[in-house]
Amino acid sequence: MDVPYYPINDYEPLIKGLVIGGLGITHVFLAQFAIGGGMLMCYFQWLAQTGRSPVARQFLDGYFKILVLISFVVGALTGVAMWFTTIQVSPRTIGVMVDEFHWVWATEWTFFCLEVVAGYAFYRCGRNLPDRSRMTLLLLYTVGAWFSLFWINGILSWQLTPGQWGEDRSVWSGFFNPSFWPSLIFRTITSLTIASLAACVVINTMTELRRDLRRELINRAAFCLSPMLLMPALGYWYLNVIPPDSRSWVEGGSAAMTMFMGIAVAASLLIGGYALVGLIAQRLYINGATATLLLALAFGATAGGEFVREGVRKPFTVREYLFSNSIRADEVALLREQGSVTADPFPLRNAGIYANEQLRLGAKVYRFQCSICHSMGGVNGLTHLAGTWTTDQKRMNIAKLQNTKPFMPPFAGNAEELEALVQLIEWHAAGMPRTWETTSNATVLAEIRQWLDEAGTESATRREVALIREER
Amino acid sequence: MDRTFPFGFPGATAFYLTIYVLTLVIHVLFMNYVLAGTGYLLFCRWRDGSGSIADRGLRAGDVLRDWMPFALSGAITAGVAPLLFVQILYKENFYTANLLLYHRWMVILPVLIIGFYMLYLLKTQWIERRSALTRGVVTLGALFCFAFTGLSWTENHLLSTDTASWPGLYESGSMVYYHRELLPRLGMWAVGSIPTMALLVAWQLYVLQRSGQEPNELEPRRLALLAVVGIALSVGCAGLYGYQMTSEVRSHVTGVLAGPFLLAGVVGLVIQIVAWLDQGKKTRFCPRALAAGSAGLLLTIIGMTTVREAIRLASIDVTPLYVRHAESAEKGGLYVFLAFFGINAVLVAWAIRLTRSRVVHSAD
Ligand code: HEM
């Protein structure tokens, strides 16, 4: 078994998770705009061609231009960007995803091609086409866009709830995993929401239309917000199928996760409340500023949701299979024996700043095992987190890392590496002095070994799941 | 590697290599159109100065400007497919190069977004009202974006095969990789894109000609000249590149592994030259000449893309990856993919057909 080593870049004082989170949100938001936009336009085309709303056509062409300019360009490229960023954050994760699901991805790609061609055909020729052709093109575009979501949703939801895949390793067990349907329906509704709010913004810019016509369009667009009514039920369904420990993070177990969840829920409630009461029940007009604000809230909800989605997977990127730090669950035991960085071919970038060889070892261990979620002195910084602990407490709590916080993976190195890591943290906390004593106390190492053995090599999530079940 | 590509490899490896090359060929077609097309637009700006030339029939520049954003969409969309397969085939090599180049690599994404908007800008009325200088600068900006993207892919590719340089490059923290093959290789891609672009534009002009929009009568000759110059330059760059290779790699390129493909590429070039000489003598676009040229072009691109792969296969040891390719090949989903590939190909064709159903509606 060969553990692959990759060059790990330094994000200090940030951490990688934040970076991918930020990019992910933009992409998800734009991609969902494209999907919902397709559905919304089919609806408006239908309104126009059945004579229900003659101005709908005028809106359609303007809206589609914006959709193409923003979503085609930035949306498509941020899609590639997601791929590239995932490589930057965890090449091993994307490697597993590509190996397992490449045909799913290839299938998604055929829909993506359909989306681009149908969308572009409408963009270039839509104005001069008869209604039937317009409708067909819009439907083809929407089918392409929505199915892209369908396929990618299977892969993303698999990461958190691989379900039956854990046993049979079958692509389709992984794809139609327990959270596949709730998250697919949820994302579909989110897409419609974003598209309708964007439509309200666009309609407000159509100043050439009379206000009553604009109001009519807005009320039509707001109608597409009504599926939001289903969101609470879907959210409940989703929370029910994700692992109990992940659920407990958002229900108060982790301050950050609970906060992001809170943001997502609150923003959705605001949008939903305004839409249902104001726009649909009372048929109010909504001006550009309010529409933009609601759209910004939708962005906030997406942001909260994506952070939760990325966050609750901890300590895994693929549940029970691959840890966030790119160590496979079945490799921990081996790395404890042979050392986690013994075979790492990549030298330190600034080896000269460390006061001794032990610290250099510690720096490599930190880079390999911890830097994905921690910085040293910045975001989630180790010197702060372990700041009040004695040296021995550090040794024990890191040796029992998965027990210290169940959203951390087990420590995957030998006792010497652990001691080096503890020294590194203390050295940083002491302000990186030029000299630092190397420790080599056989009793200490023996004690660390014992703690490591006590903690075992399994993640705490399984035990945690059992505990949470008991409590209920 | 003692048999012709892809036969000397185990089944799974050969399978992925083949689809990788085929999908990359599609990317190359679009990418060439974008790269050379933007270059040609810049040339048109310079040639035409600020004067208007709209009254003398359609010209390549008009078509290019009109279709360039779509072509870029195409290049990106078509790039995703080989991006998938390159990861299955070369895994660690590809990822490590990405990671080493880091921000330098990631920056191609914003750069492409900027390039995209510049192409849209070039289509607007707004830019037509601006000075020749402004238009030139925007065109140059777009060209820079795509040239930079091309450079980055070449750099990443060479780095992915140069495993010995990895630890040193990482330690240095540098995000720039230089290799003596870099410039001739990039040069080859750059000038090699010219004949492809010329031919694709010629087809577009032919389609317009059939629908009654007459191209400028000098255009066939200009494009023929452009293509032949592009071919000559490519041959020059290829020579230079071949000269830079280690003799071991060169022996694979000219030997059993890729020799037949090299030959196919050369034959394709000859066919293209003959076809262009024929077309260049005419004042209208002639489908027969263009079809012959296209056959030659496809031969050249498939040949050279395969030679490109052979160079990589000769530079790194892929044997340890065979097992993993075999594992990947066991994953399900191939038939689902094939089914949807077929269905969506039909739907794409349908979408294109629908655009012909043009009716000017007077009702609204
Ligand atoms: C206008 C923009 C682009 C240009 C000019 C361009 C140019 C190139 C060039 C010159 C190569 C060959 C590199 C070499 O062999 O030395 C290449 C390869 C490739 N390109 Fe593009 N490219 C563009 C956009 C993209 C995008 C957006 C993607 C991804 C979605 C992509 C995916 C690929 C892939 C996967 C390869 C093969 C890489 C390898 O095998 O190492 N390209 N491209």
Residue A55 token pair: 């101005």
Q: Does A100 touch chain B (CB under 8 A)?
A: yes
B359 band by pLDDT with thresholds 50, 70 and 90 = low
Model pLDDT, residue B364: 38
Report the CATH number of the A16-323 domain: 1.20.1630
At residue A464, the 3 state secondary structure works out as: helix
Report angle CA A14, A317, B318 to the nearest 5 degrees.
100
At residue B87, the 3 state secondary structure works out as: helix
A285 band by pLDDT with thresholds 50, 70 and 90 = confident
The phi and psi torsions of A435 (rounded to 5 degrees) equal -120, 150
Model pLDDT, residue B362: 41
Residue in this structure with the two tokens 């954050």, named with its chain if needed: A89
Determine which of A19, A47, A107 to mutate to test the interface with B (most B C-beta atoms within 10 Å).
A107
Model pLDDT, residue B15: 96
Model pLDDT, residue B50: 47
| Cβ contact, residue pair B351, A85, below 8 Å | no
Average pLDDT over residues A114-124: 91
Stated as kind and residue range, the H or E segment containing A22 is helix A16-49
Instruction: Please tell me the distance from the alpha carbon of residue A282 to that of residue B189, in angstroms, as a whole number.
Output: 61
Per-residue pLDDT tens over the stretch A221-244: 988 998 998 999 999 999 999 988
Q: From ligand 1's centre to the CA of B283, what distance in Å?
A: 36
Residue in this structure with the two tokens 């190996």, named with its chain if needed: A99
Among A449, A442, A441, which residue's Cα sits nearest to residue A396? Answer: A449
State the maximum Cα–Cα separation within chain B, in Å, rounded to a whole number: 71
At residue A317, the 3 state secondary structure works out as: strand
For chain B, percent of residues with pLDDT exceeding 90: 86
Among A434, A239, A432, A402, which residue's Cα sits nearest to residue A336? Answer: A402
Per-residue pLDDT tens over the stretch B80-108: 999 999 999 999 999 999 999 998 999 99
Where are the domains positioned within chain B? 11-48+61-317
Amino acid identity, position A60: L
pLDDT at B250 over 70: yes
Which architecture does CATH list for B11-48+61-317?
A: Up-down Bundle (1.20)
Among A216, A207, A50, which residue's Cα sits nearest to residue A134? Answer: A50
Give start and end residues of each alpha helix (H) in A366-414: 382-385, 391-399, 401-404
Q: From ligand 1's centre to the CA of A213, what distance in Å?
A: 48
pLDDT at B55 over 60: no
Model pLDDT, residue A330: 93
Q: From ligand 1's centre to the CA of B307, what distance in Å?
A: 16
Amino acid identity, position B87: Q
Question: Which 8-state DSSP code applies to residue A280?
Answer: I
For chain B, give the mean pLDDT: 93
| Cβ contact, residue pair A118, B347, below 8 Å | yes
**Range name among A278-292, A401-415, B130-144, B155-169 with the lowest pLDDT average:** A278-292
For chain A, give the mean pLDDT: 90
Instruction: Please tell me the distance from the alpha carbon of residue B355 to that of residue A385, in angstroms, as a whole number.
Output: 62
Average pLDDT over residues B6-13: 94
Residue nearest atom 4 of ligand 1, based on CA coordinates: B150
pLDDT at A251 over 70: yes
Model pLDDT, residue B49: 63
Model pLDDT, residue A67: 85
Atom index in ligand 1 nearest the CA of residue B76 equals 27
Instruction: Please tell me the distance from the alpha carbon of residue A102 to that of residue B267, in angstroms, as a whole number.
Output: 35
Model pLDDT, residue B361: 45
Per-residue pLDDT tens over the stretch A358-400: 999 999 999 999 999 899 988 889 999 998 999 999 999 999 9
Residue B364 has its nearest CB partner, among A57, A101, A125, at: A57
Residue in this structure with the two tokens 């056989």, named with its chain if needed: A442
Q: In b/e form, how buried is each residue of A282-317, taking b as 16+ CB within 10 angstroms?
A: eebbbeeebbbbbbebbbbbbbbbbbbbbbbbbbbb
Residue B267 token pair: 């034959």
Amino acid identity, position A299: F
A47 band by pLDDT with thresholds 50, 70 and 90 = very high
Model pLDDT, residue A139: 97
Residues of A in contact with B112 (CB under 8 A): 77
Instruction: Please tell me the distance from the alpha carbon of residue A368 to that of residue A294, in angstroms, as a whole number.
Output: 42
Model pLDDT, residue B54: 52
Q: Are B73 and A72 in contact (CB under 8 A)?
A: yes
Q: Higher confidence at residue A251 or residue B194?
A: B194
Average pLDDT over residues B206-211: 93
Q: Give the number of other Cβ atoms within 10 Å of residue B132's Cβ.
A: 13
Stated as kind and residue range, the H or E segment containing B312 is helix B287-315
Average pLDDT over residues A405-429: 96
Which residues make Cβ contacts (< 8 Å) with residue B328, sequence separation at least 6?
A99, A102, B12, B16, B88
Determine which of A139, A346, A349, A364 to mutate to test the interface with B (most B C-beta atoms within 10 Å).
A346
How is A52-88 classified by DSSP, letter by letter? S-TTHHHHHHHHHHHIIIIIIIIIHHHHHHHHHHHHH
Nearest CA to CA, how far is A138 from chain B (Å)?
10
Where are the domains positioned within chain A? 16-323, 342-471
Average pLDDT over residues B245-264: 94
